[in-house]
């Protein structure tokens, strides 16, 4: 271990020569990155093996977090931070003539996730390792991560994210640990020694090859594993060659089709082929992951009846739900258990997190597809369903309505959320409001049947990446002010509240924020050639683009501000810079039009000399983890404006809060809990409450057109979408947007909340003028953000759901 600068420099230079045959002055930034990565790998190699050895010898219960997504982002800076080597390496590199930040930029951003769900999984891995829990990730090594977004002529254009092109210094291919996964075929049933035996024949077997990524905990060296699976052909080329002339090409085709399983994150599932591929991916993850988990379990030499004491399998949303029938299949077909015993083991091992209430996002698979692709697994699902429905009718005689509502297989579809609830011992939502709505609404009958299964685990974010790494100056100030205990116990951030009225501390907070804004302004100038005023309010909405997140309301409000400034050019205004970052699903046309609209408005506003010094609008392309780390520390205002009841939790809201931005938000998701801690003084709430939204959905009574006719501000901006004027065009480019609001009655209540949003934005302008009061609010936000550290969340999962203890003592919750 190079625990001082000189040792580091020596080790570094040696590696440069021995691995690349280069001297310092020949090395490129890419070389430096690679060598640094390899050095860290060497440093942790022994500890990684030791951690695994420790788990084995202590027979510790292991948690496996199954997720189709791990949005880990870059690892270099975070790994150095967690190893306590950040300063040593930064200083050493500087003396060697390199800037660490620049080297960090060499790393591709591992974008193996769509958004919040995948990022949550990554934060959880960091907390599990940092708190010393035996918890591992199990996912897919997609060859292409989430698409790279380019904005061309205002439109989103998607490019493949070829993140592995230059290799991945963090991964270790483990061919010795590969497993076979089987698809298709027919099930043959026979009687052997008085037992019914199920054998799948004519199936297609493929290899799942694991790539292990070390997950380095903060502080005492503790290294867990993120195991990502890659699909490879198991076809023997020699046998193929025997099969005729075209077989070489067939072989290549076949290989390509096998490899496609781990090729793309979230393939386009609008058609049958795409859906099938997604289902294949899900089973691939479940089957490969489970085989490897059970192989480790079997080494303990314990009977399978002890599986729930030694293994917890957690499924991140319904995507890995096939774990349930797959475990049943192994227990029954391979281990010889009877149904009841297998069911008991399975339902005491698997737990499930629900991440959305949106009905269109609840997964369903056509029965035919599941039956053909996974014949034996389908039989088991059918049996689970039969027994479950039978039990319902026994307990609630005559209630066919209940059976129709709750069945796992219904209308020729397999409902994955139902299977997940029935087959697991714990179901949790991701914020209190979300869990309450699950219980009262979407999963009401299941809650009534299994009340003890339902619990809440409000999401969290790792303060190591989102505060210490993303905002080092703020972290330093915090440590200078309250000591360093907050790093291991983020609740200690509460001590900052004492300093909220301290002018010197306020001044430091605002100075650091300004520094972060200047850095972001540099980035913007470099990328877009636009200069932004660091003294303007940086108002930020960065997240996936979706109707319910209401980026549209934000941009319509910007259009309204533009109109106001045009109408009253001499009026003084608090300067504002609106910053957007968002990727739209490639087939989501409305979302893509909203991106175009933001870019058109940005162009008009930024070119208009009358706006100068008052209003700027930016759309930052390719929002990603690493971009988030640049943007969030620079924000003054955090936009968390979803239609109440729609955003399960949100985690961006927590990241902004931790970096001292004030939130303008609805009472939705975790905003509710933020508000409980911050009160009205430190957060800007507006808009409908979730009960009011639900009431409208149930009983009607909302008419978007009325809002449009009644409020001249609304009428004006809505008209500007479709008629010639500053923002439009001849080709009705924004007709779809206008239609969604006026003709389809504004599903997400954009117009209904517009007025209260605009008023609250005006209140923010006034509040910002009082710099000291603003700083005090910002400090209160940072002070309470410790509550949203994923360390606290993980401690609760560990204690309440997984029943595991840390290898080292954990912090107090
Ligand atoms: C998926 C889809 C699929 C296609 C149709 C539209 C749609 C809309 C939403 C989703 C979300 C799926 C699950 C998800 O990513 N949930 C997010 O999980 C985060 C971590 O718990 C949470 O903070 C976010 O509020 C929640 O949206």
Atom of ligand 1 nearest to the CA of 115: 15
Residue 706, C-beta contacts closer than 8 angstroms, at least 6 positions apart: none
Residue closest via CA to ligand 1's atom 20 equals: 117
Which residue minimizes the CA distance to atom 24 of ligand 1?
650
Nearest CA owner, ligand 1 atom 16: 355
Is pLDDT at 796 greater than 60 in this prediction? yes
Given the residues 90, 549, 560, 592, the one annotated as active site: 549
Tell me the pairing of strands 110-112 and 70-73: antiparallel
Query: Is pLDDT above 70 for 661?
Result: yes
Going from the C-alpha of 226 to that of each of 327, 351, 455, 635, 648, the distances in angstroms are 21, 19, 26, 32, 26
CA angle (225 as vertex; 219, 228 as ends), nearest 5: 145
Pairwise CA distance, residues 231 & 278, whole Å: 13
The model's confidence at residue 809, banded by pLDDT at 50, 70 and 90, is: very low
Q: What is the mean pLDDT of residues 546-573?
A: 97
CA of 69 to the centre of ligand 1 (A): 12
Instruction: Check 74, 434, 517, 655 and give the catalytic one.
Output: 655
pLDDT grade, residue 774 (50/70/90)? very high
Q: Ligand 1 centre from 117 Cα, in Å?
A: 7
| Three-class secondary structure of residue 282 per DSSP | helix
Is-catalytic flag, 549? yes
Contacts of 807 (CB under 8 A, 6+ apart): 54, 55, 58, 60, 132, 133, 134, 222
Q: Could you tell me the distance, in angstroms and rounded to a whole number, from the CA of residue 216 to the centre of ligand 1?
A: 27
So what's the pLDDT on residue 398?
96
- Cα gap 308→672, rounded to integer Å: 35
DSSP assignment, residue 564?
Answer: H
Over 60: is that where the pLDDT of 811 sits? no
220 vs 796, residue with greater confidence: 796
Q: How far is the CA of 302 from the centre of ligand 1 (A)?
A: 38
DSSP conformation letters of 356-387: ---GGGS-EEEHHHHHHHSHHHHHHHHHHHHH
Which of 76, 78, 100, 97 has the alpha carbon at shortest distance from 88? 100
Which atom of ligand 1 is nearest the CA belonging to 651? 23
Ligand 1 lining (C-beta closer than 6 Å): 115-117, 120, 317, 355-356, 358, 360-361, 430, 459, 546, 647-651, 669
Quote the mean pLDDT of the chain: 95
A 10 A CB-CB count for 348 gives 15
Joined together, the tokens standing for residue 213 give 């990524």
Residue 250 pLDDT: 78
User: CA-CA distance, 8 to 30, in Å (whole number)?
Assistant: 18
Q: Point out the catalytic residue in the list 34, 119, 543, 557.
A: 543
Dihedral of CA 3/7/11/12: which sign? positive
Of 361-370, 567-576, 800-809, the range with the lowest mean pLDDT is 800-809
The answer to whether residue 495 is catalytic is: no
* Residue 249 banded pLDDT, cuts 50, 70, 90: confident
Q: How confident is the model at residue 493 (pLDDT cuts 50, 70, 90)?
A: very high
Rg over alpha carbons for the chain, rounded to the nearest Å, is 27
pLDDT tens for residues 116-141? 999 999 999 999 999 999 999 999 99
Has 560 been annotated as catalytic? no
pLDDT for 808? 54
Residue ID of nearest Cα to ligand 1 atom 7: 361
- 10 Å Cβ neighbour count for 706? 11
Q: Which of 113, 117, 121, 549 to mutate to test the pocket of ligand 1 (most atoms within 8 A of CB)?
A: 117
Q: Are 636 and 661 in contact (CB under 8 A)?
A: yes
Length of the chain in residues, anyone? Answer: 813
Ligand 1 centroid to Cα of residue 417, in Å, is: 14
At residue 243, the pLDDT reads: 64
Q: How far is the CA of 424 from the centre of ligand 1 (A)?
A: 21
CA-proximal residue: ligand 1, atom 15 (nearest): 117
Q: How far is the CA of 433 from the centre of ligand 1 (A)?
A: 15
Residue 813: pLDDT over 60: no
Of 69, 112, 114, 116, the residue with max ligand 1 atoms within 8 A of its CB, to mutate for a pocket test, comes to 116
Q: Is 630 a catalytic residue?
A: no
pLDDT at site 190? 96
576 backbone dihedrals φ, ψ, rounded to 5°: -130, 140
361, 431, 460, best to mutate for ligand 1 pocket (most atoms within 8 Å of CB): 361
CA angle, residues 525, 527, 533, in degrees to nearest 5: 25
If one residue of 648, 654, 747, 797 were mutated to test the ligand 1 pocket, choosing by the most ligand atoms within 8 A of its CB, it would be: 648
Of residues 297, 284, 170, 186, the one with CA closest to residue 234? 284
| Amino acid 246: pLDDT | 66
CA of 667 relative to ligand 1 center, distance in Å: 18
Q: What is the pLDDT of residue 10?
A: 94
Nearest to 767 by CA among 537, 595, 500, 450: 537
The more confidently predicted of residues 254 and 484 is 484
Q: How many angstroms does the Cα of residue 363 sit away from the middle of ligand 1?
A: 12
- Ligand 1 atom nearest to 119, measured from its CA: 20
Looking at residue 253, what is its pLDDT? 83
- Ordered structural domains, the chain, with CATH: 5-152+165-354+425-431 (3.40.50.2000), 490-700+747-794 (3.40.50.2000)
Average pLDDT over every residue of 635-657: 98
Rounded Cα distance, 59 and 310, in Å: 8
DSSP state for residue 208 in the 8-state scheme: E
pLDDT tens-place string over residues 66-101 = 999 999 999 999 999 999 999 999 999 999 999 999
Between helix 750-769 and helix 712-722 the angle, nearest 10°, is: 110
| pLDDT confidence band for 730 (50 / 70 / 90) | low
Distance CA 290, CA 296 (A): 10
Mean pLDDT, to the nearest integer, of 753-778? Answer: 98
- The candidate with the shortest Cα–Cα distance to 640, out of 683, 695, 600, is 683
The CB-side HSE value for 808 (13 A sphere, CA atoms) comes to 15
Residue 245 has pLDDT above 80, yes or no: no
347 is catalytic: no
d(CA 721, CA 716): 9
Tell me if 745 sits within 8 A of 702, measured CB to CB: yes
pLDDT bucket at 266, cuts 50 / 70 / 90: confident
Report the nearest-CA residue for atom 23 of ligand 1: 650
439 belongs to the catalytic site: no
Quote the ligand 1 centre to 654 CA distance (angstroms).
Answer: 16
The DSSP-derived string for 488-519 is H-GGGGGGGGGGTT-HHHHHHHHHHHHHHHHH
Side-chain-side CA neighbours of 707 within 13 Å: the count stands at 20
Q: Which of 319, 352, 356 should be mutated for ligand 1, with most atoms under 8 A from CB?
A: 356
Ligand 1 atom at shortest distance from the alpha carbon of 434: 25
What atom in ligand 1 is closest to the CA of residue 669? 25
The single residue of 88, 353, 651, 666 carrying the catalytic annotation is 651
Q: Evaluate whether 220 touches 129 at the Cβ level (below 8 Å).
A: no
Give CA–CA dist 562/601, Å, rounded: 9
Which residues sit opposite 144 in a β-bridge?
A: 264
Ligand 1 atom 18: residue of nearest CA: 117
Q: Residue 810 pLDDT > 70, yes or no? A: no
Q: Which one is catalytic: 222, 319, 544, 646?
A: 544
CB 704 within 8 A of CB 718: no
Residue 366 has pLDDT above 60, yes or no: yes
Q: What is the DSSP letter of 724?
A: S
Q: Is the pLDDT of residue 386 over 50?
A: yes
pLDDT band at 728 (very low <50, low <70, confident <90, very high): confident
């Amino acid at each position: 271990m190079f625990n001082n600068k000189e040792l580091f420099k020596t080790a570094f230079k040696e590696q440069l020569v021995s691995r690349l045959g280069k001297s310092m002055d020949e090395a490129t930034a890419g070389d430096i990155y690679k060598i640094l990565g390899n050095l860290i790998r060497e440093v942790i190699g022994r500890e990684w093996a030791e951690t695994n050895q420790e788990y084995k010898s202590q027979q510790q219960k292991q948690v496996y977090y199954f997720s189709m997504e791990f949005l880990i982002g870059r690892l270099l800076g975070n790994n150095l931070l967690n190893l306590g080597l950040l300063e040593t390496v930064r200083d050493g590199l500087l003396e060697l003539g390199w800037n660490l930040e620049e080297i960090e930029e060499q790393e591709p951003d591992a974008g193996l996730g769509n958004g919040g769900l995948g990022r949550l999984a990554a934060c959880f891995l960091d907390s599990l390792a940092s708190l010393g829990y035996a918890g591992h990730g199990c996912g897919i090594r997609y060859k292409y991560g989430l698409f790279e977004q380019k904005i061309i002529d205002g439109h989103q254009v998607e490019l493949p994210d070829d993140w592995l092109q230059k290799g991945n210094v963090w991964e270790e291919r483990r061919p010795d640990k590969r497993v076979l996964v089987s698809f298709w075929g027919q099930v043959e049933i026979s009687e052997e020694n008085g037992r019914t035996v199920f054998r799948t024949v004519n199936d297609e077997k493929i290899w799942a090859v694991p790539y292990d990524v070390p997950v380095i905990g903060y502080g005492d060296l503790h290294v867990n594993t993120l195991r990502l699976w890659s699909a490879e052909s198991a076809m023997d080329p020699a046998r193929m060659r025997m099969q005729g002339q075209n077989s070489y090409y067939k072989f290549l085709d076949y290989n390509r089709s096998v490899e496609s399983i781990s090729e793309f994150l979230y393939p386009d599932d609008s058609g049958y082929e795409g859906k099938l591929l997604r289902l294949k991916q899900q089973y691939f993850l479940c089957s490969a992951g489970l085989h490897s988990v059970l192989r480790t379990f079997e080494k303990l030499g314990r009977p399978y009846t002890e599986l729930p004491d030694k293994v917890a399998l957690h499924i991140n949303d319904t995507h890995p739900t096939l774990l349930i029938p797959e475990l049943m299949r192994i227990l029954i077909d391979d281990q010889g258990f009877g149904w009841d015993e297998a069911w008991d083991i399975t339902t005491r091992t698997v737990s499930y997190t629900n991440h959305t209430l949106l009905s269109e996002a609840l997964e369903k698979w056509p029965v035919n597809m599941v039956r053909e692709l996974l014949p034996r697994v389908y039989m088991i699902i059918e049996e689970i369903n039969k027994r479950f429905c039978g039990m319902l009718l026994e307990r609630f005689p005559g209630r066919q309505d209940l059976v129709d509502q709750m069945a796992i297989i219904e209308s020729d579809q397999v409902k994955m959320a139902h299977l997940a609830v029935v087959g697991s011992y714990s179901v949790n939502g991701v914020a209190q409001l979300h869990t309450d709505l699950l219980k009262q609404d979407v999963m009401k009958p299941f809650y009534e049947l299994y009340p003890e299964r339902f619990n809440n685990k409000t999401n969290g974010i790792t303060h190591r990446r989102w505060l210490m790494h993303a905002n080092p100056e703020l972290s330093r100030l915090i440590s200078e002010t309250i000591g360093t205990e907050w790093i291991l116990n983020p609740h200690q951030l509460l001590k900052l509240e004492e300093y909220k009225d301290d002018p010197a501390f306020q001044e430091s907070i605002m100075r650091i924020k300004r520094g972060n804004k200047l850095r972001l302004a540099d980035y913007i100038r470099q990328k877009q050639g636009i200069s932004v005023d660091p003294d303007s309010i940086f108002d930020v909405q960065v997240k996936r683009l979706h109707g319910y997140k209401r980026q549209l309301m934000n941009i319509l409000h910007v259009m309204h501000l533009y109109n106001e400034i045009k109408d009253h050019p001499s009026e003084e205004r608090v300067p504002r810079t609106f910053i957007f970052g968002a990727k739209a699903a490639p087939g989501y046309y409305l979302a893509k039009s909203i991106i175009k609209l933001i870019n058109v408005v940005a162009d008009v506003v930024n070119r208009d000399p009358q706006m100068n010094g008052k209003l700027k609008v930016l759309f930052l392309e390719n929002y990603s983890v690493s971009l988030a780390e640049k943007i969030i520390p620079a924000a003054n205002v955090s936009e968390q404006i979803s239609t109440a009841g729609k955003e399960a939790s949100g985690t961006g809201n927590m990241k902004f809060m931790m970096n001292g931005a004030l939130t303008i938000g609805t009472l939705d998701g975790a905003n509710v809990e933020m508000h409980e801690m911050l009160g009205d003084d430190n957060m800007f709430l507006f808009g409908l409450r979730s009960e009011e939204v639900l009431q409208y959905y149930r009983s009607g009574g909302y008419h978007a057109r009325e809002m449009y006719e009644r409020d001249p501000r609304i009428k004006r901006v809505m008209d500007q979408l479709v008629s010639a004027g500053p923002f439009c065009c001849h080709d009705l480019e924004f007709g779809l947007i206008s239609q969604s609001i006026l003709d389809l009655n504004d599903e997400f209540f954009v117009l209904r909340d517009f007025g209260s949003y605009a008023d609250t934005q005006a209140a923010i302008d006034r509040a910002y003028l009082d710099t000291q009061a603003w700083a005090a609010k910002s400090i209160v936000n940072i002070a309470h953000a410790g509550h949203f550290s994923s360390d606290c969340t993980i401690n609760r999962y560990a204690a309440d759901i997984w029943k595991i203890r840390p290898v080292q003592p954990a912090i107090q919750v």
